A and B are shown apart, each in its own frame.
Chain A
Amino acid sequence: NAGVTQTPKFQVLKTGQSMTLQCAQDMNHNSMYWYRQDPGMGLRLIYYSASEGTTDKGEVPNGYNVSRLNKREFSLRLESAAPSQTSVYFCASRDRDRPFYEQYFGPGTRLTVT
């Protein structure tokens, strides 16, 4: 099992460019999440998908869109990148819809917007 994989690992964009961050999990999990981590800020939820075909906004959704392509894959799109979106992005997945199942995280994508 590879767990949660993310591509790319690093990316540099210019202001206004667009890109899609890819996430896939091979654990047959129902729920998937996108977080961003900024220095001194902890992890903040951008969007999540409780199950295939559904997506919902988290704490900081502005400037992002998501697609739950199938049960395995959940992508995050920046339509017009801004320097404020410079961050490390983590994807996570979760097994069941019960509180005592933890989230599993990918290794992250480090994004710099100049």
Chain B
Amino acid sequence: DQQVKQNSPSLSVQEGRISILNCDYTNSMFDYFLWYKKYPAEGPTFLISISSIKDKNEDGRFTVFLNKSAKHLSLHIVPSQPGDSAVYFCAASATGAGSYQLTFGKGTKLSVIP
């Protein structure tokens, strides 16, 4: 039973346009959400996070939106750049879960076309 779902395996966007990556979750106990970015042959790197007490968090070109009632979050990248081409993982954590272990989605491969 997948608790964190990223239903789009891939996404292609033109350089300069907006990229929107989506993530759904089923576990109501999740109260903290993170996005990680992964380049080939490297480990994932933290991108941005959001607590369940907020509905939006912004960091430069990256914004994460959280809709708790729909159990849905999205990552917006504006404007998209070729260097943003990578696999993006959505992850969730629950307060009190063993050392705040993360549950990951399967990832979305973003390709930004110059």
Contact between chains at A99 and B89 (CB < 8 Å): no
Contact between chains at B106 and A90 (CB < 8 Å): no
Q: Is B8 an interface residue (CB 8 A)?
A: no
> Which B residues from 30 to 79 make CB contacts under 8 A with A?
31-32, 34, 36, 41-46, 49, 51
B48 CB to nearest A CB, Å: 10
Give the contact-size bracket for chain B.
20 to 34
Inter-chain contacts of A99 with B (CB < 8 A): 31-32, 51, 93, 95, 100
Count, chain A residues at interface, CB 8 A: 30
Partner of A100, one of B32, B89, B102: B32
Q: Is A53 an interface residue (CB 8 A)?
A: no
Contact between chains at A105 and B45 (CB < 8 Å): yes
Inter-chain contacts of B42 with A (CB < 8 A): 107-108
Contact between chains at B32 and A106 (CB < 8 Å): no
> Which A residues from 78 to 97 make CB contacts under 8 A with B?
90, 92, 94, 97
Q: Is A44 an interface residue (CB 8 A)?
A: yes
B9 CB to nearest A CB, Å: 7
